[in-house]
Amino acid sequence: MPSRRSHTKSRKGCLQCKRRHVKCDEELPRCGLCQKRKLQCTYPASSNETDGLNPATPQDEVESTYGSGELSLSTRMLEMRLFHLYLTETYITLYPGKLDTNHFQSAVPGLATSYPFCLDALLAFSALHLASKETGDNRQWVECALKYQNRSCSAMSRVLAEFSVDHAGPAFICSILIMLCSYAYPCVSKDDHPFDPLAQVLAIRRLLAGCAFFFHQLSKMEHPGELAGWLRYKDDEDSEEELPKEQQDPKLLQLRSALLNSLARVKERIDSVRGSRREVHQDIWEFLSEAVKRPLGGREGGVIALPVRISDDYVDLLKEGDWMARILFLHFGVGMHLLSDRWFVRDWGRRLVSTVLQPLEEIPTEWKDTVAWTRQAVDLDKWSRS
């Protein structure tokens, strides 16, 4: 009797094919069957406990990838396309600040080729960049980004469980890319999901806490290598001169000046009030006033890093409808609009300003002019009509 033909069963197919008990071709961002049926295609996170934790060696790659024959040609081509996009276009959108000019073009991809969890975060970020450039239906690229980000986050959770100082550098870069992805999703996605500004900020706050943790670990390394440039921000002196003049948008520079003036008026209101809430308001105001001067960087990380400074007490005030807390939140939205020329921020500030207050909500007399200014500052009425 002839022996049964042996075969290797792949467990990496999408969840939709698993439910239907059909063979999945494992193509990315959507397998062939899901494309044919016009279904959302979702892949499970890797169950390999060591995947993404350790640097990949050439031998590991040969044994785990080419030897298994499970990585399809279409997946390889997709990942090369995303990696090429990062090396030629995406890295340029990340402002280097005090880092070497080739940091995002050379050092970051170098880490990604050694640490799979960092590579997945980079591919997710590139996929979102591609989605932002797509004028038509970009859902396949958004889904692709989600798949790579989920895989990266799954590996990062194991990094935290088995953390060593050797992982500080790649984990820090990975956490930054994932944080930027979280900012980018609402701007890139073309779905009709409502934008909940507080929920978005709280989710980003958790990610920024991870960035801060890994940055602290990085600062303790004796030889941080190519990531040493990040440590220059620890003792950075604030300066409003941040970008070369040819890269400065006159309208955004004018908006920054107007925003600082508005914050100065808000400070007068904060100082005139006594009570336990004043300290909470003061903390957010101090961060905003410094971050607006350098929206892309500085010691505190710029406007984009505000969520990490949001305390539980401030969140409670927002939920209670405290008007000073809401006014400061609106100013955060205007601050984010200073970065609207970045594809991963785009209309994030407008969305925040448009959703903090309900359309028919009555505004206290003393705040009507301020609220009207925040709406005008982000061109909200013009944006709403477009």
For 95-137, the pLDDT digits (tens) are 766 676 788 999 899 999 999 999 999 999 999 999 999 888 8
Query: 32 falls in which pLDDT band (50, 70, 90)?
Result: confident
334 vs 302: CA distance, rounded Å: 13
Do residues 117 and 53 lie in contact, with contact meaning Cβ atoms separated by under 8 Å?
Answer: yes
User: How far is residue 303's CA from residue 221's CA, in Å, rounded to a whole number?
Assistant: 27
pLDDT over threshold 90, residue 54? no
Q: What pLDDT was estimated at residue 349?
A: 92
pLDDT at 258 over 90: yes
pLDDT confidence tier of residue 60, bands split at 50, 70 and 90: very low
59-63, 87-91, 351-355: range with lowest mean pLDDT: 59-63
Burial class (CB in 10 A: 0-12, 13-18, 19+), 4: exposed
What's the confidence (pLDDT) of residue 248?
A: 66
Q: How many H helices and E strands in the chain? A: 16, 0
Question: For 296-332, what is each residue's pLDDT tens digit?
Answer: 776 667 888 889 888 999 999 999 999 999 999 999 9
Nearest to 91 by CA among 141, 49, 139, 129: 129
6 pLDDT above the threshold of 70: no
Alpha-carbon Rg for the chain, nearest whole angstrom, is: 23
pLDDT band at 16 (very low <50, low <70, confident <90, very high): confident
Q: Give the per-residue pLDDT at 112.
A: 94
DSSP 92: G
User: pTM of the full predicted structure?
Assistant: 0.77
CA 166/CA 336 separation, integer angstroms: 34
pLDDT at 103: 86
What is the average pLDDT score of the chain? 81
**Predicted confidence band of residue 10 (pLDDT cuts 50, 70, 90):** low
> Is pLDDT of 384 > 70?
no
For 307, the 3-state DSSP assignment is helix
